[in-house]
Structure 1
């Protein structure tokens, strides 16, 4: 059975991973003295993370995939509860990253260490979360959800099939802006 929603979630995870990797690459290049900080770029990348995963991706997982699996498998409950807790903490985690970036912008070089530590913490938490979904939750979902469940979940996720699209191309425009601002190898900018 081809499960479109799991393919979409996986693609969205890859899109987020690319953004997080870009942030890490830029920060490590700043740390090594190869790049000067572009605070507008960094803020735009954090804005993307906030708008797409936190506001689109996670709510659909909660409302559709997790809700259906909760009804079908008691074995999945501990995993679902951990993932839902991650989602509930998402706003606080993104706000902590924003605050560290704002502090970095205000303090300049003196604020870099705090920003970089906050970024590494955020990235580590996101990787753990995505790996839990793909390695633990997806197999449980495949084992316990019905064809009817998948049809409903797939329909919900097809609305955001391309993680760069968003409402009226809003996320595509944001992604394009990031690609054009970010220096190589992250983007096309200077």
Structure 2
């Protein structure tokens, strides 16, 4: 697999880990094993907002999708669908935040709506990442040139580690999440 695709795949794993953790905590609350931790929810949603929405998706659009659009007509329907999903990303994050705030204000009465918002967001992101990895990546590997990959690699190599960020900007946030999230999601009290 190409360097850029490996980086994107690593970013997908980081995003998936955060979404899986969020879903596990919500399931624990639903089962009565956990209590809501709104500091943790805010941190997890902040990570989801900053990494995929501000770093990951814009680079996919500007570099990978733009180059593939020029080289492979077969990829256009998938690219257009993925770009449309990227444009909805901010609204989906704001809906998740609003559901979390309503849950915090309403207490237990707000849980069902928050759970529904988490489920909706996570399901949409899983489908989105799978479409990228199973439809777009193979077409990119087949149709992009060495020059295309050089430009894409230059952009994505600057992302470095999705757990830390290029300048370490996510490391503190990720460490905070790991330290306050209860097991099996993190190291916090459970």
TM range (shorter): over 0.9
Q: How many residues align?
A: 189
Aligned partner of 2:91 in structure 1 is: 92
Matched, 1:23 2:22: yes
Deviation string, structure 1 residues 23-55 (Cα, Å, up to 9, x no partner): 000000000100010011011100000000110
Q: In the superposition, relative to structure 1, how do residues 167 and 154 fare at CA in structure 2: closer, same or farther (>3 Å)?
A: closer
SS of 2:170's equivalent?
A: helix
Structure 1 length-normalised TM: 0.98
Shift of 1:168: 2.7
Aligned partner of 2:42 in structure 1 is: 43
Measured in 1, the distance between the counterparts of 2:77 and 2:38 equals: 39
Aligned partner of 1:66 in structure 2 is: 65
SS of 1:141's equivalent?
A: helix
Deviation string, structure 1 residues 103-144 (Cα, Å, up to 9, x no partner): 000101000000000100000000000000000000111111
Shift of 1:89: 0.3
- Comparing 36-45 with 164-173, which one deviates more in the overlay? 164-173
Matched, 1:135 2:119: no
SS of 2:160's equivalent?
A: coil
RMSD: 0.8
Measured in 1, the distance between the counterparts of 2:134 and 2:167 equals: 33
**Structure 2 residue runs without a partner (length 5+):** none
